[in-house]
Structure 1
């Protein structure tokens, strides 16, 4: 089975996230009463879809459709060829000024979107850009983007539920909202640990898929080296949730390293060239 390790991780993490989601539903029943179960059930069914749509819209906000003519024509041809070889439909291509050389994918098979920064296209050679595009197509093919987006949404909902539970059950002291916010943040980070269990692994899988698609890991390795150097001292213009989807996440703070969404660039390059 292709990418058995990733599929197992996604199944395990999905089951855990589903359990957390059921806790959100239980809180809804406890709050509104068992007579409101149709409303709670409707909310449980609708929220993942709404969160997925919001996540996709938020990620691509500020991006523009990449014209199929002119300077972008070769990128479209490249993406079409790679998509055909990887057995997926050609995704929608978009371009965005991100402040740093980067790219990310969102959506699912048949409804995928690949966003490439203008900074990236001006930095990389053709074969390096092909490696990056292949990497993003692999994320769409493996469906791991959906797990990331929905998992982050469930973590946010668990955090909100934790806050409301504390506020309803608390003693209404003046500083209660601060304690509630801290508990909410801790609960959200706890759920995100399970999402991060697949986040770093999925990058290795997408790197390997890209290597197979273009016949060599060296172009993508060179692209990662250039992206890393090109991001130094520059501030990305995308939010943290989009950074988690990008091929390169440059945040080097202590907390970011602890909850890193990506493995180290050095390890990725080493694997690609091994």
Structure 2
């Protein structure tokens, strides 16, 4: 091998060795930091309690400030009782029959006709799109409000936010625990790629493939957590439908409201909040798996079945 080729080759090997030393140093520092924390940490049960507590605090702060920010972004304004006395009378009646205090009702210009609830049973907010007052009858609007009150009664949005925060905190700590090994393996992958003269091809090395598989594992874990939270959200939507049907005694009113909202929403695609009473109707399996809401058709059919059972009829009820 000529001297003109030996010098660049040696330089690449030297750079690869330097890269490995840097990553190994970072891995050692992170390992020492984690080892120090481990030695000074309390027993596993206390540590788990601290982790869960941190997740809950972060989730609470995120929900608290996120709620204020969302209402500000939507430019939602409180609906005075003098502007909708009949709606408020029905709202007060529903609240008396449910384990919830009358919430603050706010109106906003949402991307599509929709409604959502924020807060809890003792300090909730229901946001209604302005168009709902002309799109729905009073009975349909009452059923929709009852659905949102059911979410407040069950602390649904709050619980989901806290659960997701705790899961993300635990997943983040797991990644931190693997950091020393990932840094060392990543350094080996990049070092070998430099020594081969192809620094951009480090993902193709054996160690690079290990790093990619680890990243995919973290991504799959986060997707699994998200899928579990979304599945719980879909169950709570069905539960809120059932609760609204119970307190109003009129499941068809909610079914008609959902169908009307869906019909208009299908013509106006926009960014929809997972808190909304109606979400995008998408048919592929992945979308259904990560959807926050069941399909409107499923919800309407369940409500229609409930109406059939309560009336004792076997005839199919069509919701227009």
Write the distance in 1 (CA, Å) between the matches of 2:172 and 2:118: 25
Alignment match, 1:246: 276
Q: For residues 107-118 of structure 1, what are the structure 2 equivalents within 5 Å?
A: 107-118=119-130
Alignment match, 1:183: 217
Task: Tell me the TM-score normalized by structure 2.
Answer: 0.65
Provide closer, same or farther for how the CA distance between residues 179 and 57 of structure 1 changes in structure 2, counting only shifts above 3 A: farther
What's the CA shift for 1:256?
1.7
Count of matched residue pairs: 243
What's the CA shift for 1:84?
1.1
Alignment match, 1:132: 144
Task: Tell me the TM-score normalized by structure 1.
Answer: 0.75
Aligned partners of 1:162 and 1:183 also within 8 Å: no
Provide closer, same or farther for how the CA distance between residues 264 and 251 of structure 1 changes in structure 2, counting only shifts above 3 A: closer
Structure 2 residue ranges without an equivalent (≥5): 1-32, 191-202, 306-320
**One of 258, 267, 278 as aligned partner of 1:224:** 258
Provide closer, same or farther for how the CA distance between residues 169 and 77 of structure 1 changes in structure 2, counting only shifts above 3 A: farther
Alignment match, 2:293: 262
SS in structure 1 at match of 2:80: coil
Write the distance in 1 (CA, Å) between the matches of 2:108 and 2:178: 41
Aligned partners of 1:218 and 1:272 also within 8 Å: yes
What's the CA shift for 1:57?
3.4
Structure 1 residue ranges without an equivalent (≥5): 1-27
RMSD of equivalent CA atoms: 3.0
Provide closer, same or farther for how the CA distance between residues 229 and 178 of structure 1 changes in structure 2, counting only shifts above 3 A: farther
**One of 142, 146, 151 as aligned partner of 2:154:** 142
CA offset digits 1:124-152 (Å, max 9, x no partner): 22111111100011112123333322222
Alignment match, 1:157: 169
Aligned partners of 1:105 and 1:113 also within 8 Å: yes
CA offset digits 1:177-233 (Å, max 9, x no partner): 876654332111212333234322221221111112112111100001011111114
Write the distance in 1 (CA, Å) between the matches of 2:91 and 2:39: 51
Alignment match, 1:11: none
Provide closer, same or farther for how the CA distance between residues 39 and 179 of structure 1 changes in structure 2, counting only shifts above 3 A: same
**One of 55, 61, 65 as aligned partner of 2:63:** 55
Q: For residues 177-216 of structure 1, what are the structure 2 equivalents within 5 Å?
A: 182-216=216-250
